[in-house]
Amino acid sequence: MKIVIAGSGEVGFHLAEQLVASNQDVVLIEKDPARARFVADHLDCLVVRGEGGDPEVLAEAGVDGADTFIAVSNLDEVNIVSCLVVAGRYKVKTTIARVRSLQYQHSGILNNTLLGINYIVNPEIEAARAIMNVVAGGATGKVLVFEGTGIQMRNLFVDQDSPLCGRSLQSLHRFLQDKFIIAGISRDDEVIIPHGETVLEPGDRVFIVASRASIERIFRKIGHRHHHLQKVVVVGGGRIGGYVTEFLISSGRSVKIVEKDYERCKLLAERFPEALVINEDISDEKIFADEQLNLADLLVTTTPDEALNMLTAVYAKSLGVKRVVPVVNKSGYLNVAEQLGIDASVSPKVSSVGAILKYIRRGNVKRVYSIFEGKAEAIEFAISPDSRIAGKRIRELKLPSGSLVVAVNRPTVGGSRNLVPDGDFVLEAGDNVVTFAKAEQVDALEDLFLH
């Protein structure tokens, strides 16, 4: 599959990195000379200097005949125009644009297929959805949900005092006495697909897969109790903060919004009369005592300053706030968040990449999540009646090395069942199958499930 990406910022770089790892033919277009050199030094793909909407640059990138063109620069207008040029001049199956402004979407202009945009991704909305999933799960870690199922994937950080530390997976199953699978472990910047003898070590980041009920029981047993997060503080009244506040109020929660810009505070007060809008700078430590923010069940930090989001979350946790969720993008922040006692972190970059990957793959792919900073993916496949793997045992599939089937949701009369399969489990048409794979094995896994 040939994919041309215009823009190599956080989203473009991370997306290209993941697609290159899964053996796709990727070309990146970047107008900034320094950034183009950086990308060329760090990714094994062709980098073309120039503007994504320039026909000469597009021709040099070989966009004609490409499977997908993705415009993810920092400017909505550039992304929209780039897709328009590509759709009007070249034969490309799919065009995707990152568009932040809801004004374009509300105007209806982007719904016109003549404009040449097949799919629009909004980073702030994707991040807000991720935060909503985290909050619904009690903010005890990242929560990945799968369409139409009760299956969840949650992350855990294993420190020296964790009851998981030093246990093999076999021992862990005896200890927890529930149905689950450890899908993957990130250790020393390496992704491990574990087996029964794998022992969990301090510093491991683990993804566990099970039904929601099983995960709640497991988390309670290891001391991660589910708190009802009724009193919430949202720091930052920008787009993400607004979307999150809307969700929180609609779910019956009490919300305080802290925003330092006075004019934005007035708009927020009009939009959310149910919320208390506080016009203050969260970096002023007196605000926690003055506004009793330390009594909150949950604090979500959504400002554009990632370092401020992290520091505020850590400080709030030290004052007694039960759960904290900062919005961050830098991999370094994501890696250290759990070690600092932060309950969950959300990345607009990672959320956007997952949405784009899902659309690129489509077909029987129902959900895609980028895991461990793009080193692995969790993919949900639907098995069609004519699938070559329907009726086969999992051990007969000859799964690519570095991949697992971690859960199956099977339709039943009046509902569905969530199942944790073993090697003898027989897949059936209609099953929704959740898989976990290292990035370099995703292409082979898709060949198996989609043909």
Please report the DSSP string for 294-308 in residue order.
GG-SEEEE--S-HHH
Banded pLDDT at 324 (limits 50, 70, 90): very high
Reading the block at residue 34, the tokens are: 């320094």
**Least confident among 112-116, 138-142, 259-263, 311-315:** 112-116
Mean pLDDT along residues 165-173: 92
Using the predicted structure, report yes or no on whether residue 303 has a pLDDT greater than 90. yes
Helix and strand element counts for the chain (H, E): 15, 21
The correct CATH number of 127-134+227-348 out of 3.40.50.300, 3.90.1200.10, 3.40.50.720, 3.30.1330.10 is: 3.40.50.720
Q: What is the CA radius of gyration of the chain?
A: 22
Tell me the three state secondary structure of residue 109: helix
119-138 average pLDDT score: 85
Q: How many whole angstroms separate alpha carbon 80 and alpha carbon 405?
A: 38
| pLDDT band (50, 70, 90) for residue 160 | confident
Angle at alpha carbon of residue 100, lines to 94 and 103, rounded to 5°: 105
Question: What residues are paired with 257 via a beta bridge?
Answer: 234, 277
Q: Class of the 2-121 domain?
A: alpha beta
* In the predicted structure, residue 48 carries a pLDDT above the cut 70: yes
Considering the entire predicted model, what is its pTM? 0.75
313: pLDDT strictly greater than 70: yes
Residues forming beta bridges with residue 6, ordered by sequence position: 29, 71
Tokens describing residue 192? 């491990």
Where in the sequence of the chain do the CATH 3.40.50.720 domains occur?
2-121, 127-134+227-348
Supply 135's token pair.
């909050």
Tokens of 433: 């199958």
* pLDDT, tens digit (0-9, with 9 covering 90-100), for 75-128: 888 998 899 899 889 899 889 998 887 665 554 554 545 467 888 888 888 889
- What pLDDT score was predicted for residue 71? 93
CATH number of 350-450: 3.30.70.1450
> What are residue 120's DSSP bridge partners?
97
Q: What is the pLDDT of residue 257?
A: 97
| pLDDT above 70 coverage of the chain, percent | 93
Q: From the options 3.40.50.920, 3.30.9.40, 3.30.70.1450, 3.30.360.10, give the CATH code of 144-215.
A: 3.30.70.1450
Q: Where in the chain is the domain with CATH 3.30.70.1450?
A: 144-215, 350-450
Among 179-193, 219-233, 278-292, 361-375, which is the least confidently predicted range?
361-375
Read off the pLDDT of residues 244-297 as tens digits, 9 standing for 90 and up.
Answer: 999 999 989 999 999 999 999 999 999 999 999 999 999 998 999 999 999 999
Which among 252, 165, 224 is positioned nearest to 200, based on CA atoms?
165
pLDDT beyond 70 at 395: yes
pLDDT at position 311 is 93
Please give the mean pLDDT across all residues of the chain: 87
Compute the distance between CA of residue 381 and CA of residue 446 in angstroms, rounded to an integer: 9
